[in-house]
């Protein structure tokens, strides 16, 4: 029909489409929420109440009834050492082989895979923004200066220097996209590898020797039917660091108590990661607004 005009074609490539940018922006605060949830729960101090019953179950399963006679209830046994600095963790395991394949994948592989794919999408967006920047500048009604536009050479520069060059030339969209790629592609992987930590923990029931003051495991004494021994009452020793544990021989002799490993998120490195993701969201929102105005 004559007199009708076609709507202007959408010149924006899919790499900087509205839906892709919004999806990547939403993923960042969602990741922050998951990280903060894991940090909060995995760094809670250990509760002593759970260990005496676990130790008693271990002792019953690994010792015959004629070895030593234990009281039927150890819930009232007091606990000492390092409880406030210990972590509950988000994953508890005895050894690497005891972790199920699904948990091992979620803990060891999924964060790295997610970080690589997320950085890959931002790398694609950054490359496309740098490619079309000269075309967009020169296509405006007022045009653009030839030097800063056509000879910007963003593609040939190392990515880490692109934000500086974009800031000098006042190319704000390139500044946003390149800054995001530097944060996600270079800083985030370094922090991600240091976020997950392992803490070894041990628990033993015993008593304090009268003269030496040394903690003696219950499994190393003679049989008795009385909970109160000549040396002293039963007590529980919990520790999370063999260097700070005053009875190092117990740490080496792991058959003399219950030992476990807990995986947790380091709070300092995790806070740095959330800051990086937060700054990424700010740059991404600004890039989205610049894209909508074009």
Query: Across residues 70-83, what is the average pLDDT?
Result: 64
HSE on the CB side for 211, CA within 13 Å? Answer: 0
Q: How crowded is residue 31: how many other Cβ atoms within 10 Å of its Cβ? A: 19
Predicted confidence at residue 50, as pLDDT, reads 72
Helical axes 110-139 vs 172-182, angle rounded to 10°: 170
Helical axes 18-42 vs 267-293, angle rounded to 10°: 160
Averaged confidence pLDDT in the chain: 77
Looking at the chain, the whole-number percentage of residues with pLDDT higher than 90 is 28
Under the banding of pLDDT at 50, 70 and 90, the label for residue 193 is: confident
User: Among 17-21, 49-53, 136-140, 250-254, where is mean pLDDT lowest?
Assistant: 250-254
Predicted confidence at residue 3, as pLDDT, reads 52
Predicted confidence at residue 240, as pLDDT, reads 72
HSE on the CB side for 46, CA within 13 Å? Answer: 28
Residue boundaries of the structural domains of the chain: 14-40+103-194+268-293, 47-88+197-265
78 DSSP assignment: -
Predicted confidence at residue 12, as pLDDT, reads 67
CA distances, 257 to each of 35, 202, 229 (Å):
33, 7, 20
Predicted confidence at residue 229, as pLDDT, reads 47
B/e letters for 122-151, b = 16+ CB within 10 Å, e = fewer, are bbbbbbbbbebbbebbeeeeeeeeeeebee
User: Among 13-17, 122-126, 197-201, where is mean pLDDT lowest?
Assistant: 13-17
Shortest CA distance to 50 belongs to which of 31, 20, 74? 74
Are the C-beta atoms of residues 42 and 266 closer than 8 Å to each other?
no
Q: Which residue has the higher pLDDT, 107 or 95?
A: 107
Question: For the segment 250-290, what is each residue's pLDDT rounded down to a tens digit?
Answer: 555 545 667 788 899 999 999 999 999 999 999 999 999 98
Whether residue 2 is predicted with pLDDT greater than 70 in this model: the reply is no
Predicted confidence at residue 227, as pLDDT, reads 46
Query: Across residues 5-28, what is the average pLDDT?
Result: 77
Residue 153 falls in which region: left (phi positive, over 0), alpha (psi -120 to 50) or beta: left
Q: Distance (Å, rounded) from C-alpha 192 to C-alpha 189?
A: 5
66 DSSP assignment: T
207 DSSP assignment: E
Question: Which of 68-82, 145-159, 168-182 is predicted most confidently?
Answer: 168-182
HSE on the CB side for 16, CA within 13 Å? Answer: 28
Q: What is the pTM of this model?
A: 0.76
Whether residue 6 is predicted with pLDDT greater than 60 in this model: the reply is no
């Amino acid at each position: 029909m004559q007199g009708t005009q076609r709507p202007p074609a959408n010149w924006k490539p899919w790499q900087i489409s509205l839906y892709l940018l919004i999806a990547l922006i939403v993923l960042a605060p969602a990741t922050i929420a998951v990280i903060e949830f894991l940090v909060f729960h995995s760094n809670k101090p250990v509760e002593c109440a759970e260990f005496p019953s676990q130790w008693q179950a271990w002792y019953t399963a690994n010792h015959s009834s004629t070895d030593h006679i234990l009281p039927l209830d150890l819930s009232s046994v007091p606990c000492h050492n390092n409880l406030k600095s210990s972590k509950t963790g988000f994953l508890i395991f005895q050894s690497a082989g005891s972790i199920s394949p699904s948990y091992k994948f979620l803990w060891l592989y999924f964060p790295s895979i997610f970080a690589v794919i997320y950085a890959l999408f931002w790398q694609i967006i950054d490359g496309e923004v740098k490619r079309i920047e000269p075309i967009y500048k020169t296509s405006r009604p007022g045009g653009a200066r030839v030097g800063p536009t056509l000879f910007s050479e963003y593609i040939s520069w190392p990515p880490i220097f692109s934000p500086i060059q974009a800031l000098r030339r006042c190319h704000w969209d390139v500044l946003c996209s390149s800054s995001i790629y530097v944060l996600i592609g270079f800083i985030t992987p370094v922090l991600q590898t240091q976020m997950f930590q392992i803490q070894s923990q041990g628990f033993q029931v015993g008593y304090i020797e009268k003269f030496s003051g040394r903690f003696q495991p219950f499994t190393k004494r003679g049989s008795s039917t009385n909970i109160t021994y000549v040396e002293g009452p039963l007590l529980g020793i919990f520790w999370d660091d063999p260097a700070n544990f005053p009875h190092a021989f117990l740490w080496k002799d792991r058959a003399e108590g219950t030992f476990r490993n807990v995986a947790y998120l380091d709070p300092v490195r995790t806070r740095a990661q959330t800051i990086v993701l937060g700054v990424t969201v700010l740059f991404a929102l600004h890039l989205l607004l610049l894209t909508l105005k074009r």
